[in-house]
Copies of this chain bind each other. A is one copy, B any other.
Amino acid sequence: MTAPPAEMGEWKRHVADKLERRKASIPKEWLIPAIPDNQTDVSAVPYTCGLLTEKEIEITDVPDVSILLQKLASGVWSAVEVTTAFSKRAIIAQQAVNCLTEIFIDKALERAAELDAFLKEHGTVMGPLHGLPISLKDQICIKGLETTMGYAAWIGKVAEDDAVLVKLLVKAGAVLFVRTNVPQTLMWGETANNVFGRTHHPLHRRFTPGGSSGGEGALIAMHGSVLGVGSDIGGSIRIPASFCGLYGFKPSSNRLPSYGIVNSLDGQESVPSSLGPLSISLSGVSTLVRTIIEAEPWRYCPNTVPKPWSQDEFELKGLGGGKKLCFGIMWDEGSMKPVPPIQRALEMTKKALESAGHTVIDWQSLRHAEYVTVARSAFLNDGNDDFNASIITGEPLIQSMNPDEDPSYVAPWRVPRPKATAYEIWQLNKERRALRKALLDRWEATSAQTGTGRPIDALISPAGPYTAVPHGHVRSSVYTIIWNTMDYPSLVFPVTKVDPALDAKPIREDFWSEDDKFVYDTYDAEKFNGLPACLQVVGPNLHEEQVLGIGAVVEAALKGI
């Protein structure tokens, strides 16, 4: 293991300095009075704190990214106005839920002014994201800024170049303005680290916004940003999206360009991570994915699959224009039963799809535990070498996201394993291949049941067994991680909210697992009142366009359009 740190405690001084610098990056006039600790719901603070003008509220309350882009492109709202409004609201969010790591509003406003000048001079936008403020998870390097990724040892690590994604976003006209918080190691479904501390859920600050892209989830839920980019290796986009009531999209691992980011377990490729968007609206998600793919990222990132954006696939041309689709629906995966609001979300979605003329057939869960085991092995195969190489200044390795946990406790799925050899990794890759084949065959075999002559067009499933939960209550990511093992794209979408009148806790006495009992025991319809209930829709590997196109079909069905 790592040698004992030379200067134990030194890391705390680095952290204090970093936090000072973060504070200094907030314009003084945007500081708001401290929010009382016992105020758990801070979602109204942007309206009550008095910092935002009416117009800034109008701008930041925009319900759809496409509307915002249209107002920017037409010059109805200037990029400076929009950047100012979201910057202020992001700073309010920061003070309410502690979601930001890097704040660089001066640069953002300079950039916005350039965009305004461009539009004025040329009468046209710089690109499809003209003037749109976009937030980034604290992995996605920007030249000249630190990328800390929640490690004290990484404080002061200044990026020498922009990540490929950053270059393409900028080229498309985006305004980058903040980066967002993550859990230490990234390998958690919650968000806390020794540098920036813990990020909270806007609707209930004793609850987690999820993780690891939890800073994004909380910020976007507060409308401090309407579109951000996170990453997902087991649910890290989908968990915060589902906890925060957002759209969150995990593409296949090599569809969006990852070159130039920093990562946990970097170089681990058996079950790789994906970059992807979180947004207030499906249009935000789709626009980001389309814009980046249309920029031919494979010309800059050697990991990106050179698969051009298919507008035909997005419009579901090969699937009858999306008029009569067939969905699989998975009610549960067999080890953790979803809580009542998630079950209700499934029922609502099935009913809505059927009313819209689609077919929905049951999908029996397929050996989820094995898919999770393979992914966990891939992640733990280094015997913590990667984590240890990142905590060299002496900060402790965080072993639980529960603030009240005994510090000696280690979550069972985090217990370090012996270092695997190359040959052992090769055998694991073979196991993963067999699992991918089993699910692919299962998927294809549905052709016999769908009535369309095709396999199911997509699969609807819970994104987890619960809505947002109190800090420390996230359990195994069994509902999301299977799609990382499979490398299938998955879109989280909001369906409903917890309603105590509809989502009362049933009586259950038999449980499928300890986690199942824990999820049941800790569910409380009154306490969870109003929290979003989301699902995910999944499609085959590298069929991002299909999943996003079907996302629009599902959304329309739920809205009764």
Contact = CB atoms under 8 A, between A and B. Distances in A.
B385 A423 contact: yes
A113 interface: no
Interface stretch (A52-60, A97-105, A152-160, A298-306): A298-306
B421 A421 contact: yes
Interface in A410-456: 419-423, 425-430, 433, 436-437, 440, 444
Contact of A420 (B268, B299, B422, B541): B422
Contacts of A420: 421-422
B302 A426 contact: no
A426 B541 contact: no
A550 interface: no
Contact of A422 (B266, B268, B302, B444): B268
Interface string A275-312: 00000000000000000000000111111011100000
Interface size grouping (class) on chain A: 35 or more
A347 interface: no
A436 B257 CA distance: 14
Interface in A336-362: none
Contact of A426 (B268, B301, B426): B268
Interface of A is mostly: loop
Nearest to A254: B305
A383 B421 CA distance: 9
A30 interface: no
A265 interface: yes
A444 B306 CA distance: 14
Contact of A382 (B302, B381, B421): B421
Nearest to A388: B423
A423 B378 CA distance: 11
A266 B306 contact: no
A302 B423 contact: no
Residue among A385, A420, A425, A429 with most chain B CB within 10 A? A425
Nearest to A543: B306
Interface in A534-561: 540-543
A259 B430 CA distance: 10
A422 B382 contact: yes
A106 interface: no
Nearest to A272: B429
A541 B301 CA distance: 11
Interface of A: 259, 265-270, 298-303, 305-307, 381-383, 385-386, 389, 419-423, 425-430, 433, 436-437, 440, 444, 540-543
Given A266-B430, A269-B429, A306-B542, 12 more contacts: A268-B426, A303-B436, A305-B305, A305-B542, A306-B540, A306-B541, A381-B422, A382-B422, A382-B426, A386-B426, A419-B421, A419-B422
Q: Which 10 A-B pairs have the closest CB atoms?
A: A267-B426, A302-B436, A385-B423, A381-B422, A267-B429, A382-B423, A382-B422, A419-B421, A267-B430, A420-B422
